[in-house]
Structure 1
């Protein structure tokens, strides 16, 4: 491979903003919920690189073929790799595509084919485009992808310079599984590993049940520190594990570990007992069960009596769990734990994924 921009290249990053900026000079596009991926193509040679620079190529042979069919013969582009089912992105299914067995990689490529949305251009033919302002990079990208086959799994990201339109996308596109809006300064060059973009993500709160905790990786018997709080919500099947809350100062980690000792109960008396029927019926929701995503880590937990409620901030759900780590807001002593159910969560209106791409 011989390109004007060679791997590894760390992608340009974004800093959070509370709302869509209205000052002008910014291009907006939907924020995708998949794997960030830089594509390097030199003829038949294709390399798919993750956000951290690791190769994704062997896991997505279907996307390699799609790149060869749709992208220019020599180019480097930035985009998002995703799996969609119907009109919605499915991050959990995308995760399944990362598998060590070659036979399973091939089978999943057929069963869960990946797609790729392109939103930036780093190189084209023999030209390094990274120093160009985004407005020029975007215009060149739109020109070379103007004739994409409608059946291709390669897509061009939709953009607008209208903040009002970006605000509408922020509200509507979540129904297709997207998680916000990205803003790119029109005059900015491509800056690897620099937070020069803006991201506006959905932010919500929920009242959840505290049901367990794990020690921090630096915790010692002499100085025990909290690592994470394990959260639950009630449904017809009982208390379901929905995620964790894990961002605290060391001082607060020490305080919480001591404070919560009064709630510790034997795990066999807990709704998430390792050997109980709930653990067998719902292995994905129960702390202490091991999956291939745990990487052999110890997932055991300290069971806590589910009597305390806290309010957490979250961006969105993935199935019946929080997609990302939540943020602690406050304790809710006024709430009955059994009143904390899924019915409090905002229901996002479905939206046609195909409407999110550039026409």
Structure 2
């Protein structure tokens, strides 16, 4: 079951049975199938349907703590110090053989459970979320489950949820909230839940555009690193006509020698499709709205253009690697 994005927390009554608010973590969505009987395999299935348990032998071993015949829905994450590391998670998900075991020891995975589709061989998808949540809480209590198993935090109090959205999302890897109806059934593939990501306003430098100089479609954005190199940090969503006109009035096509000459830009995170941007003189600063999903200095999700900052210079833009640092005054 999936969630549709919203900008703000929904009002009571939007979803059946009242609202439940869960913390949203930035990891790999995954279904965990415990063994159906003694000696049967444990399966981990990605959102795309791939079986990935061979990459996470530590979770397979830890699943011995779990009873037979359960199907859990959750998020695979890897902690690095006091933050979640998406880069470490990617390394683990692409590892194999002896490397998988070595990485499991160095950077163990955790499974944050937020729903259950089957318990003790009995399907629960037609049960309301409130009943499924109770089954999960009972599982953790009766089995005394500890990491790598984590029960996703949930509250029914909108004030507490708002506090989570404002404070918890300061921790890298905690993106926002997922909102469910207490009376909702589990509907595979349906976008019946809501999700609200925390967003911050910050700045980046326009290094290229798609479309044309007179009608830019996307902005390709960058920041300077400590060596003075312009590093790509992401691209925007499509510009509205008014915003495109505002930007076009100030664009100057770059001369040979631009930092990004010959660089290939992925159309979206993890995609093999590429953009073919027109490189521009990197002197325009864009104010953008960004979420907290940052990996190796770049945002994984498209950024939203807010406005041009003609009142600041590229020297005022936060350096590469600082994520959504506060906007310049």
CA contact (8 A) 1:70 1:152 kept: no
Change in CA separation of 1:258 and 1:333 when aligned onto 2, cut-off 3 Å? closer
Alignment of 1:223-262 (within 5 A): 228-248=218-238, 262=252
Q: Distance in 1 between matches of 2:270 and 2:291?
A: 23
Asked if 1:196 corresponds to 2:192, the answer is: yes
Query: Which residue is equivalent to 1:329?
Result: 306
Number of aligned residue pairs: give it. Answer: 312
Query: Which residue is equivalent to 1:339?
Result: 316
- 3-state SS in 2 of match to 1:263: coil
- 3-state SS in 1 of match to 2:186: coil
Query: Which residue is equivalent to 1:14?
Result: 3
Give CA-to-partner distance per residue, 1:20-74, whole Å, 9 cap, x none: 335261111110110010111223321111112222222212111222x232211
Asked if 1:183 corresponds to 2:179, the answer is: yes
- 3-state SS in 1 of match to 2:154: coil
Change in CA separation of 1:300 and 1:70 when aligned onto 2, cut-off 3 Å? farther
Alignment partner of 1:139 out of 130, 134, 138 = 134
Change in CA separation of 1:317 and 1:65 when aligned onto 2, cut-off 3 Å? same
Change in CA separation of 1:288 and 1:28 when aligned onto 2, cut-off 3 Å? same
CA contact (8 A) 1:226 1:256 kept: no
Q: Distance in 2 between matches of 1:331 and 1:237?
A: 26
Query: Which residue is equivalent to 2:289?
Result: 313
Alignment of 1:262-281 (within 5 A): 262-266=252-256, 269-272=257-260
Query: Which residue is equivalent to 2:26?
Result: 33
Alignment partner of 2:51 out of 34, 55, 66 = 55
Alignment partner of 1:164 out of 159, 162, 165 = 159
Q: Distance in 2 between matches of 1:206 and 1:189?
A: 39
**TM-score between both structures, scaled by the size of structure 1:** 0.75
CA contact (8 A) 2:229 2:259 kept: yes
Query: Which residue is equivalent to 1:222?
Result: none
Structure 1: gaps spanning 5 or more residues: 1-11, 220-224, 275-286, 348-359
Q: Distance in 2 between matches of 1:167 and 1:250?
A: 30
CA contact (8 A) 2:26 2:293 kept: no
Q: Distance in 2 between matches of 1:21 and 1:295?
A: 32
CA contact (8 A) 1:263 1:304 kept: yes
Asked if 1:66 corresponds to 2:62, the answer is: yes
Q: Distance in 2 between matches of 1:123 and 1:294?
A: 32
Change in CA separation of 1:340 and 1:57 when aligned onto 2, cut-off 3 Å? same
- 3-state SS in 2 of match to 1:271: coil
Give CA-to-partner distance per residue, 1:146-181, whole Å, 9 cap, x none: 145565301111211111111111122123330101
Q: Distance in 1 between matches of 2:88 and 2:323?
A: 26
Cα deviation for residue 229 of structure 1 reads 3.0
Asked if 1:113 corresponds to 2:108, the answer is: yes
- 3-state SS in 1 of match to 2:102: helix
Alignment of 1:289-300 (within 5 A): none
Q: Distance in 1 between matches of 2:217 and 2:65?
A: 46
Between Structure 1 and Structure 2, the one with more helix by share is: 1
Q: Distance in 2 between matches of 1:245 and 1:39?
A: 34
Structure 2: gaps spanning 5 or more residues: none
